[in-house]
Amino acid sequence: VYVEERAFAYEKTQTILTRLNRSNVIKIGHYKDLFNRPNQDYRAQKESMNLILAVKEEPFFYKGSFYSDAFEYKNYFYTPTMLNCLYDCDYCYLQGMYSSANIVLFVNSSDFIHSIETYLDEPTLIAISYDTDLLAFERFSGEVREWLGYASTRQNLHLEVRTKSANFSAIADIVPNPNVVLAWTLSPQDIIEKYEPKTPSAQKRIDAIVQAIEAGWNVRVCIDPMIISDQEVNNYRALVHTLFEQIDAQKLYQLTLGTFRMSSQHLKQLKKYAHTPLAFYPYSVKEGTVSYPKSLNDAMISKVLNVVTEYIPKTKVRIWDAL
């Protein structure tokens, strides 16, 4: 664990170091001196990630990206309390976004949380687990708990916590907040094994979804990004059946469907770092975005949507449209 000198003063640093008491602790100056060094071996680091505890300066949040759904909120932001992710999905644009694969956790979470205060005159959506998977790291960081605690005191603060983890138990004691959506990305087991290494199995994620729904949380299931191929269509259909056999469809808040898309710039990086067949597919390119050709995309969405609407009305389904 690398710790910025100024980060030692934060309670969160001390808590995390206690939880990781068998790790070597190395004091550093500014996290960027380590994290932004050129010529780091991203793939080698990903196999054995270090944790860097640091203090972030402003900005503490950014406007939501074009590639994600703003759910009709005028105020939609994401906040980077953690850089990089424990998981290692083949299609993740984090590969090459930073020169390091190590994880940076900013310990001054209260600065992030309180910086949003000025927007709270009207409903404001914050994606708190956007370029990372915060819930996967919750037992060390307690970050999701902090945000949920704050949201319970601010009527206009709406949160989305997106995850692939099976770690609902880390927040299971918290009273559900109707302004918070717990969003699980779900893929067929075949896709998980091929392209989502280190993530929990489909069944473990479904178990967590069942627990969260039964506890009373708004749960969004995101079957997104779907990877298109002839044999995968049936796997996605089967996944939808498996999901709805286990959850109470009436209680599901929402389901989203989308296929793989990415900025051309990130795809270039993916080709360099990921060595995954996903990077070399002949995508359509439009206005700096790569996605499957529209006819393929529409056919895939329609086939999976047909199965989804056997269980829930279309009004509960959101679809990412190809450009």
Q: Does residue 320 touch ligand SF4 according to CB under 6 A?
A: no
Beta carbon nearer to ligand SF4, 4 or 90: 90
Compare residues 3 and 89 and give the one whose CB is closer to ligand SF4: 89
Tokens representing 211 are: 């627990």
Q: What are 203's two structure tokens?
A: 């069944």
Burial status of residue 313 (CB atoms within 10 A of its CB: 0-12, 13-18, 19 or more) = exposed
Which is nearer to ligand SF4, 3 or 219 (by Cβ)? 219
Q: Can you tell me whether residue 87 is helix, strand or coil?
A: coil
Convert residues 30-69 into a mask of x (bound to ligand SF4 by CB under 6 A) and - (unbound): ----------------------------------------
Least Å distance, CB 272 to ligand SF4, is: 16
Nearer to ligand SF4, 132 or 141 (CB): 132
Secondary structure (3-state) at 153 = coil
| Binding status of residue 85 toward ligand SF4 by CB under 6 A | yes
User: Is the CA virtual torsion 314, 317, 322, 323 positive or negative?
Assistant: positive
Work out which of 61, 78, 87, 292 binds ligand SF4, going by CB under 6 A: 87
- The correct pick among 3, 7, 54, 92 for binding ligand SF4 (CB under 6 A) is 92
Q: Which is nearer to ligand SF4, 75 or 200 (CB)?
A: 200
Give the residue with the Cβ less far from ligand SF4, 3 or 85: 85
Looking only at the bridges linking them, the beta strands covering 51-54 and 2-4 are parallel
Residues in 130-149 at the binding interface with ligand SF4, rule: CB under 6 A: 132-133
Tokens coding 259: 């296929």
Minimum distance between the CB of residue 250 and ligand SF4, rounded to whole angstroms?
Answer: 29
d(CA 146, CA 307): 37
For ligand SF4, the closer of residues 54 and 92 by Cβ is 92
**Is 223 one of the binding residues for ligand SF4 (CB under 6 A)?**
no
Q: Which of residues 94-123 bind ligand SF4 (CB under 6 A)?
A: 94
Which residues within the stretch 147-176 sit at the binding site for ligand SF4 (CB under 6 A)? 164
Joined together, the tokens standing for residue 40 give 């780091």
Among 51, 54, 60, 88, binds ligand SF4 (CB under 6 A): 88
Burial of 13-49, coded b for 16+ CB within 10 Å and e otherwise, reads beebbeeeeeeeeeebeebeebbeeeeeebeebbeee
Stretch that binds ligand SF4, among 44-52, 60-68, 83-91, 102-110 (CB under 6 A): 83-91
Q: Which residue has the tokens 């975005």?
A: 289
Q: Which of 54, 55, 83, 89 binds ligand SF4 (CB under 6 A)?
A: 89
Question: Which residues on neighbouring strands pair with residue 257, listed in sequence order?
Answer: 223, 319
Residue type at position 134: L
Site size for ligand SF4, by CB under 6 A? 9
Q: CA nearest 218: which of 254, 249, 192, 181?
A: 181
DSSP three-state, residue 26? strand
How deeply is 98 buried, as exposed, middle or buried, from its count of CB atoms within 10 A (0-12, 13-18, 19+)? middle
Q: Which residues bind ligand SF4 (CB under 6 A)?
A: 85, 87-89, 92, 94, 132-133, 164
